[in-house]
Every structure is written in structure tokens, then in C-alpha cells.
Amino acid sequence: MNRYSLISTTLVLIISAAVWWQGTSGFKAFTSEAARRIDVLEYPRKLSGLDFENQTFENINFSDYKGKVVLLDFIYTSCPDICYALGFSFKSIKAELEEAGLQEQIQIVNITFNLEQDTPERLSAYVQRYTSDHDMWHGLRLKDPGQLKQLLSDFGVVVIPNEHGGFDHNAAIHILDKEGRLVGIHDYQSQQQIVAQIREQISATVL
């Protein structure tokens, strides 16, 4: 093999390694969902201060949850499957935390991305499926539909309409720390890890 080919082969190998390293977060994430999870773990993410209203028509901003650890997911109220699974998972996490006497320290939040249909009334009914405690468990909608894109891209969530009139969307539970930063994203099946991270965040001191 001649010298030029040796150089070009080395270059190809270096560049490919860089592309793969960069493109898979160091061979750890092969899907964008995995990538976003790793990313927030390493770099807690600040979120934009958007305006919401909840199921009781109160105005809500993420900063209202300051001092609490927030459990959050994205839903639409007519979802036939994933959102149910997420909801029941929240319910069981909530029960576990209540047993440990930690209910004061957490806030559960469902944010709808179906702004056309999900009114505060429907959100209220949605929350009522799982709890009658409408303080600890909020259903939120953006006041300004124009901000939806910003909201979803802050979280790295993608929502695509499907042929049944519903939506396909990331099925994950998000955790915000007491400062309102996104610090964790988990499968809804991983209750153990979720509770562990919540406990860790509760005991973390606020600077």
C-alpha cells in the first residue's frame, strides 16, 4: 500500500470514529430518545418560562413549582393507550411516595399537546381518573398555542398525528428538580429508578 493510501485510510478511520462517537453520544445512544435521556442526565436543562392554565383555570408557570420535585409527562386526553399506562404509573409512584411521607415534596403534571380539543374541563376529568387531589396533580395547557413548538423542543418531544385521529408521542416520565430544570427522563415501567431519582432530588439542597 502506498503512502497516500495509508494517509487517506487513516483519515477515513479517524473521521468515521468521530462521526460515530458524536452520533451515538459515545456509543451509548442509538436512538434519539436514548440520546435525549443521556443528555439531560449530564446537562440539566433550563426550560423556557411559558404560561399555562390548569384544570381549575389557574394560571401556572413552571416557577410556581419551585422547591418541589416535578413529575411530568406529555399527553392528550383522548389517548387510548400510552397515556393510560403513563397515568397508572404516576398513580403507583405517587402511592409509593405517600407511603414514605413525601407527598408534600412532589408535584405531578400532565401537559397536553392537543390544544384544539383539551379544554380545562377535559383535563380535569383526565386528572380525576387517577386522583381527586387537584392540587398535587395538575393537568396543564398552554395559553398561547403558538408556544407549543417551543415547549416540545425544550423537552425534545416529538408528536406526530396518526391515521386514527390520535397522536404518536414519546412515552416517558420527565423529572424536574426543585429549580425547575429537566434532570431525568425515564421509561414509565422503570418505577424503581424513577423513585430513586426523586428521592435523590428531594434530599438535594437548593442553592
Partner 1 sequence: MSRSILFFVLFLYLLSYSIIGQWFEVSMVRHVLIQIPCLVLAGYLFGRKSLINNRFLILINDKGLAGILMCIFIGGYWMLPRALDAALAGSNMALVKYISLPFFVGIPLAISWQRIHPIARAVIKIEFLTMLFRLGWLYLVSPNRLCNFYQLNEQIILGKCFLIIATSLSLYWILQLFAEDYREQETLKKNNLYDQASS
9 binds partner 1 (CB under 8 A): yes
Q: Which is nearer to Cu ion, 40 or 82 (CB)?
A: 82
Return the one option of partner 1, Cu ion, none that residue 83 interacts with (CB less than 5 to 8 A, by type): Cu ion
Q: 26, 27, 28, 31: which one contacts partner 1 (CB under 8 A)?
A: 31
- Ordered DSSP codes for the chain: --HHHHHHHHHHHHHHHHHHHHHTTTTT-SSHHHHHHHHHHHS-B-----EEE-TTS-EEEGGGGTTSEEEEEEE-TT-SSHHHHHHHHHHHHHHHHHHTT-GGGEEEEEEES-TTT--HHHHHHHHHTT-S-TTTEEEEEES-GGGHHHHHHHHT--EEE-TTSSEEE---EEEE-TTS-EEEEE-TT-HHHHHHHHHHHHHSPP-
Binder of residue 30, out of Cu ion, partner 1, none (CB less than 5 to 8 A by kind): partner 1
Stretch that binds partner 1, among 21-29, 57-65, 110-118, 128-136 (CB under 8 A): 21-29
Least distance between Cu ion and beta carbon 89 (Å): 12
Q: Is 11 in the site for partner 1 (CB under 8 A)?
A: yes
**Interface map 43-82 toward Cu ion (x if CB under 5 A):** ------------------------------------x--x
79 binding partner (options partner 1, Cu ion, none; Cβ < 5 to 8 Å by kind): Cu ion
**Residue 13 contact among Cu ion, partner 1, none, beta carbon within 5 to 8 Å by kind:** partner 1
